[in-house]
């Protein structure tokens, strides 16, 4: 199979305008390739989201490739040098929405499996694909529900590579072996609206909350550990007032987010925030959205196979990292699976003129294939 196989499939996927949660036939295209390889195909459609669970074999430990076919909106197409859904190769790069996040990874995964099975039709482990069209959206009806369905029938994943664009400067220079947890708070501090000339007849919630917000922003939540940086707190939105310059607001709304390590739980963060606000004597309302727990895959079977594969193909060792945002790995890891994220360079994801180096697509397919070879040697040896 020529090295252009990955590029060809990536182009076909990019040409489908699968803005979340639409799939636009991407999964069908992938399913047709997998069916030829003996995968059992199980579409799982939940509400507006299309998912695919494809498995080859039954009863053995499962190695799974996980990814998403949905992409973020491209914005104004005229801001792009080339149309976002017309895959274009220029100066050694493939341009198009989803090239890096993450249709390039999906193409590399399928091509890697095709090559691997040509030489290794009999395996001591099963192969699977978990593909969703809900990763860029509200993440309600995608991987989260597929995993719940699999758990209900005692179907488990042992090892999983998520194709998120993990690389920073060169392909596979960084492998994510975990992610921080994410917790969002919606805080409303209540006061009394009034005229700015008569502050004694009002109560300004901005003034009341200022010290508490400063303390929250200055707090040391934990020290982190060898895998995770310290937990961070960031205010992302702040609003009060009617827009008039002579009205004391009656309410302050604050939206904030924690990215937290394994040194603290979401429940502990919630309690500490509530206690701090109460200590400041505020009249407040606080609602929480738990976006996902932190997860960590310590060095072991999967990390070893991936590391050896990168060294073999790219001739350098990858760095392990837990930095960055959340991914669907947070729904897979709690089941006990070993999970890593490995994909293209992430410099252009979610931007206009999103692109990936064409040669990196072929290298990524080689890294995925080599990972399977090393896993096979471990399991057979």
pLDDT given at position 326 = 81
Total residue count of the chain as it appears in this document: 381
Task: Return the active site residues.
Answer: 70, 135
| Contact (Cβ atoms closer than 8 angstroms) between residue 240 and residue 192 | no
| Contact (Cβ atoms closer than 8 angstroms) between residue 40 and residue 135 | no
- Tens of pLDDT along the chain (381 residues) come to 344 899 999 999 999 999 999 999 999 999 999 999 999 999 999 999 999 999 999 889 999 999 999 999 999 999 999 999 999 999 999 999 999 999 999 999 999 999 999 999 999 999 999 999 999 988 889 999 999 999 999 999 999 999 999 999 999 999 999 999 999 999 999 999 999 999 999 999 999 999 999 999 999 999 999 999 999 999 999 999 999 999 999 999 999 999 999 999 999 999 999 999 999 999 999 999 998 889 999 999 999 999 999 999 999 999 999 988 888 999 999 999 999 999 999 999 999 999 999 999 999 999 999 999 999 999 986
pLDDT given at position 2 = 42
The reported pTM is 0.88
Burial class (CB in 10 A: 0-12, 13-18, 19+), 239: exposed
pLDDT given at position 327 = 87
User: SS in 3 state form for the chain?
Assistant: CCCHHHHHHHHHHHCCCCECCCCCCHHHHHHHHHHHCCCEEEEEEECCEEEEEEEECCCCCEEEEEEECCECCCCCHHHCCCCCCCCEEECCEEECCCHHHHHHHHHHHHHHHHHHHHHCCCCCCEEEEEEECCCCCCCCCCHHHHHHHHHHCCCCCCEEEECCCCECCCCCCEEECEECEEEEEEEEEECECEECCCHHHCECHHHHHHHHHHHHHHCCCCCCCCCCCCCEEEEEEEEECCCCCCEECCEEEEEEEEEECCCCCHHHHHHHHHHHHHHCCCCEEEEEEEEECCEECCCCHHHHHHHHHHHHHHCCCCEEECCCCCCCHHHHHHHCCEEEECCCECCCCCCCCCEEEHHHHHHHHHHHHHHHHHHHHHHHC
């Amino acid at each position: 199979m020529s090295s252009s196989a990955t590029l060809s499939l990536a182009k076909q996927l990019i040409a489908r305008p699968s803005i979340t949660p639409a799939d636009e036939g991407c999964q069908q295209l992938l399913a047709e390739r997998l069916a030829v390889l003996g995968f059992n195909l199980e579409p799982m459609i939940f509400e507006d989201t299309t998912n695919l669970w494809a498995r080859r074999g039954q009863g053995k430990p499962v190695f799974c490739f996980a990814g998403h076919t949905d992409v973020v909106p491209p914005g104004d197409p005229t801001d792009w040098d080339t149309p976002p859904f017309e895959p274009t190769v220029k100066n050694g790069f493939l341009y198009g929405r989803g090239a890096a996040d993450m249709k390039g990874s999906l193409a590399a995964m399928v091509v890697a499996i095709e090559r691997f099975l040509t030489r290794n039709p009999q395996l001591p482990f099963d192969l699977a694909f978990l593909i969703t069209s809900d990763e860029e959206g509200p993440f309600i009806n995608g991987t989260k529900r597929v995993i719940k369905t699999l758990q209900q029938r005692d179907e488990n994943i042992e090892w999983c590579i998520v194709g998120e664009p993990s690389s920073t400067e060169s392909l596979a220079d960084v492998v994510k072996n975990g992610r921080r947890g994410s917790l969002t708070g919606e805080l409303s501090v209540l006061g009394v609206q009034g005229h700015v000339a008569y502050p004694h007849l009002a109560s300004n919630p901005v003034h009341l909350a200022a010290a508490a917000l400063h303390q929250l922003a200055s707090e040391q939540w934990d020290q982190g550990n060898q895998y995770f940086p310290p937990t961070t707190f960031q205010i992302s939105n702040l609003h009060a007032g009617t827009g008039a310059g002579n009205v004391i607001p009656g309410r302050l709304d604050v939206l904030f987010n924690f990215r937290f390590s394994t040194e603290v739980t979401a429940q502990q963060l919630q309690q500490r925030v509530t206690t701090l606000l109460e200590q400041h004597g505020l009249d407040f309302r606080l609602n929480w959205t738990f976006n996902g727990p932190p997860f960590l895959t310590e060095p072991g079977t999967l990390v070893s196979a991936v590391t050896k594969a990168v060294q073999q193909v790219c001739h350098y060792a990858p760095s392990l990292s837990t930095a960055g945002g959340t991914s669907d790995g947070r729904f897979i890891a709690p089941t006990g699976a070993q999970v890593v994220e490995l994909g293209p360079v992430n410099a252009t994801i979610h931007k206009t003129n999103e692109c990936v180096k064409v040669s990196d697509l072929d290298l990524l397919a080689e890294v995925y294939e080599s990972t399977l070879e090393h896993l096979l040697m471990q399991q057979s040896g």
